[in-house]
Amino acid sequence: MDKVKFLLVAVLMTVTAIMTGCGTSTSGNKNVAVCFPNTTPSWERNGSALIKYLEDDGFIVDMKISSTSEEQVAQVGEALKNKPKCIVIGAIDSSAFAEVLEDAKTYNVPVIAFDRIIFGTDAVTYYASYDNDAVGEAQALYFETVLNLRKGGGPYNIEFFAGGTTDNNSHIFLKNIMRIFDPYLKNGQLICRSGQTAFDAVTVKDWYAENARPRIKELLNKYYNDETLHVVISPNDEIAGVILEEFKRAGKPAPLICGLDADPIALDRIRNGQQTFTVAKDPAVLTLKCFRMVKAVVEGTVPDINDVKTYDNGVKIVPAYLCTPQIIDKSNIQDF
């Protein structure tokens, strides 16, 4: 008898879960969709932190993970069919959503762009990110100080890598680095022996770290047999890992090299003196902001916004909350 009762309760719970989970319940439902890429470890950290905040608050999360832009756009379309109360998108291709997000407007689903802006649609309600200009700026300013460039330090050899071309952040990072380094490249305090400084020449396709390997191999073989490559600008920690592996393979000492994301493995490299620094974008901070945005749009209130001018997506200026990135190097890693 007890067993029968237990089964009945279990069936009832399942039915309730299915009903709320697939969006068929009343207007009080708390179904939200989160569509993220799986391209780097930082997305996993962001994904689990965001799910935790949402689920702890009673939201039911339809989490979708994708590795290509086509897959992601299809997933967003699927998720919208369930008419969630809000959809959060970490875009693989910032420009791929104009069409599919028409459904968000039809179904009245607020859209939050996470970490990467979404272009070409007024369906984007808010943007939760880090201050991407500050990321590139922090990377360049760190080396400007360490290399004493303001006081005429150099010449130093430098090479650049940038993130994937479909991610707007990649362009912002490099633009800010070049803004600071350009005078030093022009006056010879910094020398880029390959001459590859344009975005298209230094991009790492789709941010996949392995795609950086052939280029760093070639740079070392072609330009740095007799010369030392002193500094490498790496757009994130995973790519820095591959670059450092190739230095090792070539029997060369590690260069000064930056990264982004504070991946645990990069923190180890900083402790060991192999990687100079990383820029931390703490998932707990960004996902908390994003969670509060979700909550606000679902409850019909206005979330905390600190930027209403930077992110013009071609159709509207997307109100944003931009968190502040933090440099982590040997001097402060123990506090991180």
Tokens standing for 7?
Answer: 């089964």
d(CA 274, CA 240): 10
- Taking phi over 0 as left and psi of -120 to 50 as alpha, with beta for the rest, 291 belongs to alpha
Least distance in angstroms from the C-beta of 3 to ligand BGC: 49
- Total number of residues binding ligand BGC (CB under 6 A)? 14
Which residues, 86 to 145, sit near ligand BGC by CB under 6 A?
115-116
Does the bond joining 155 to the residue before it have cis omega, within 30 degrees of 0?
yes
For 124, the 3-state DSSP assignment is: strand
Does the protein bind ligand BGC through residue 207 (CB under 6 A)?
Answer: yes
Q: Distance of CA 254 to CAs 56, 116, 185, 224, 233, Å?
A: 44, 31, 22, 13, 13
Q: Among residues 244 and 296, whose Cβ is nearest to ligand BGC?
A: 244
Select the span of 78-86, 104-112, 140-148, 161-169 touching ligand BGC (CB under 6 A). 161-169
Q: Among residues 54 and 260, whose Cβ is nearest to ligand BGC?
A: 260
Does the protein bind ligand BGC through residue 83 (CB under 6 A)?
Answer: no
Q: Among residues 84 and 163, whose Cβ is nearest to ligand BGC?
A: 163
Helices and strands, number each (H, E), in the chain: 11, 12
Select the span of 15-23, 35-43, 266-274, 327-335 touching ligand BGC (CB under 6 A). 35-43
Does the protein bind ligand BGC through residue 40 (CB under 6 A)?
Answer: yes
Least distance in angstroms from the C-beta of 43 to ligand BGC: 6
User: 289, 315, 317: which is closest to 303 by C-alpha?
Assistant: 289
Does the protein bind ligand BGC through residue 261 (CB under 6 A)?
Answer: yes
User: 282, 242, 293, 270: which is closest to 113 by C-alpha?
Assistant: 293
Does the protein bind ligand BGC through residue 42 (CB under 6 A)?
Answer: yes
The secondary structure of residue 70, as a DSSP letter, is H
In the list 260, 270, 294, 328, the residue contacting ligand BGC (rule: CB under 6 A) is 260
Q: Among residues 261 and 296, whose Cβ is nearest to ligand BGC?
A: 261
Does the protein bind ligand BGC through residue 163 (CB under 6 A)?
Answer: yes
Does the protein bind ligand BGC through residue 236 (CB under 6 A)?
Answer: yes
Select the span of 37-45, 181-189, 299-307, 327-335 touching ligand BGC (CB under 6 A). 37-45
15 burial type by CB count under 10 A (0-12 exposed, 13-18 middle, 19+ buried): exposed
Does the protein bind ligand BGC through residue 169 (CB under 6 A)?
Answer: yes
Phi, psi (rounded to 5 degrees) for 28? -80, 5
Residue type for 249, please?
R
In the list 167, 176, 247, 257, the residue contacting ligand BGC (rule: CB under 6 A) is 167
CB 77 within 8 A of CB 103: yes
CB 80 within 8 A of CB 100: yes
Residues that bind ligand BGC (CB under 6 A): 39-40, 42-43, 115-116, 163, 167, 169, 207, 236, 260-261, 281
